[in-house]
Structure 1
Amino acid sequence: MEAILEKKLKVEELRKMILAAEGFSIASESDNLIKNIGPMEQAFPTGTFPLGAIHEFISNDVEQAAASTGFISCLIAQLMQQKGPCLWVSIGNRLFPPSLGRFGIAPHRIIFINLKQEKDALWVIEEALKCSSLAAVVGEIRDLDLTASRRLQLAVEQSRVTGFLHRYRPRRAQNLACVSRWQIRPLSSRLDGKLPGIGRPTWLVELQKIRNGKPGTWQIEWVSGRFHYMDKPAPARKEIYTKKAM
């Protein structure tokens, strides 16, 4: 029995080493800062949302971009509760900061940097990811190559800062050195009873790629500061189709 137990311990140690080499770390309960996200956790190789890694989000139109911003905000809100501020780098200044309050984020705790050139934004994102005092870095950038994404991943492996790359209408959807790739689409929201309003944020969350994990799709509502998984499909909102960028 001791030999079997020792063998299991060695296998588990080897698994942790492999995951660490792939950019993952086995988080303890105190280190697991993004909690209570439900069945989605089963997709991740460690059973927890990967921190100290780069996550890529793809949006092909304005509605998807708004949905992705909301979903990302839900995640960084938990990080900011227990760590420092967030740096938000963008090109085009599409974000309306007061809207973040709906997801539990005080806008004054986010440092917003708006730039005109992608190369400048990419430099700022890389330097920010090296700052361990930040809870997270959100970078709204259209395109980057594999080499640039590798530099970002190397930066977070040292600082343990979590990065979110939101690519709006990318020219190319090539493979990057990111731990995951997501696409968030809006769904028709449901009202609480007969109360007027626009309803809760509701999304079709597609995890298209997760290193060493299991991709999946979920229909999720944001209810009282938590993810709520919907049992029945909600109809998708009408897409706004635009001419693809060449």
Structure 2
Amino acid sequence: MSTQPALTDRPRAEQLAALRAQLAQASAARGPALAFGLPAIDDRLADRGVDGAGLHEIAAATDSLSDDAAASLFMAGIAARFAAQPGFTVLWALSRFDLYAPGLEQVGLGPDRILYAQGRKDSDVLALAEDGLRGGSLACVVAEVKAADLTVTRRLQLAAADSGTPILLYRRDRKPDRCPLVQPSLARTRWRIGCASSARLPYPGVGRARWSVELVRQGSGNPFSLEVEACDVTGRLALPAAAPDRAAAPVGAISQAA
């Protein structure tokens, strides 16, 4: 009988190292990365984009509804670009159906590109997501949960690598004093998304929404943060124009933050 200690009996650091080594082997043949098309982001990503056969986690910067919406639309924009080719579909699994369909369509994820699956609790949602991944016929899987432990993230990463299908896992259990991304995970990338003030316009109105995008962790690279303009109708982000390129607002002009 082997004298090696069981995985659950080993220190957490050793568990993580062993699981990451296993996932590195499983994802050796992973799919191509989806570039953002912005060197400021792509050049800082180890895969020069979003791994097309990996698990990626997203959380809101705060517990506000505006940051929750920004995080959801950030995911929707990525999913829309994975499903850009005709006939490709996104599966969105969740337990609380509070998505705003017109908002998703404004970032490129129209009703013809998305299927919804609703479960009563996190375990149902995760099972739906894993089944969707293993089917291998979807462009992308999105799942919303409150919690997912190391075992869950390992299963999702392996399923994504095996099928060549990306999964975006939204951790919604955001509290004022605690970000859900503090929980250990084997995700390829972990993102924190929040709202930022839109640029002042030279006329009354609302400018294009801006988001603060923070890459909290990636498998083999450094974290970073930057401010971007929100997704357009094709799901693409943009960098804010340099200040000298913007016209000055006249005195008395009304400006609003998106």
Deviation per residue, 1:115-168 (Å, 9 max, x gap): 221111111111111122101000010101101110111101110101000011
1:145-160 to structure 2, matched below 5 A, reads 145-160=149-164
Change (3 A) 1:182 1:115: same
- Equivalent residue for 2:193, pick from 178, 184, 198: 184
SS, match of residue 43 in structure 1: coil
- Equivalent residue for 1:65, pick from 60, 63, 68: 68
Q: CA deviation at 1:21?
A: 2.9
Structure-2-length-normalised TM-score: 0.74
Change (3 A) 1:118 1:52: same
Q: CA RMSD in A?
A: 2.7
Number of residue pairs matched? Answer: 214
Q: 5+ residue gaps in structure 2?
A: 1-21, 244-256
Q: CA deviation at 1:58?
A: 1.6
CA contact (8 A) 2:33 2:47 kept: no
CA contact (8 A) 1:131 1:161 kept: no
SS, match of residue 111 in structure 1: strand
Percent identity over the alignment is 27
Counterpart in 2 of 1:221? 229
Change (3 A) 1:77 1:219: same
Letter in 1 for 2:70: A
**Hey, what's the Cα distance between the residues in 1 that align with 2:147 and 2:36?**
31
Deviation per residue, 1:90-134 (Å, 9 max, x gap): 121121112112112212320011222111111111111112210
Change (3 A) 1:129 1:25: same
CA contact (8 A) 1:141 1:166 kept: yes
Q: 5+ residue gaps in structure 1?
A: 1-17, 238-246
CA contact (8 A) 1:34 1:75 kept: no
1:4-83 to structure 2, matched below 5 A, reads 21=25, 23=27, 31-59=32-60, 60-61=62-63, 62-82=65-85
- Equivalent residue for 1:128, pick from 128, 132, 144: 132
CA contact (8 A) 2:90 2:139 kept: yes
Structure-1-length-normalised TM-score: 0.77
Q: CA deviation at 1:33?
A: 4.1
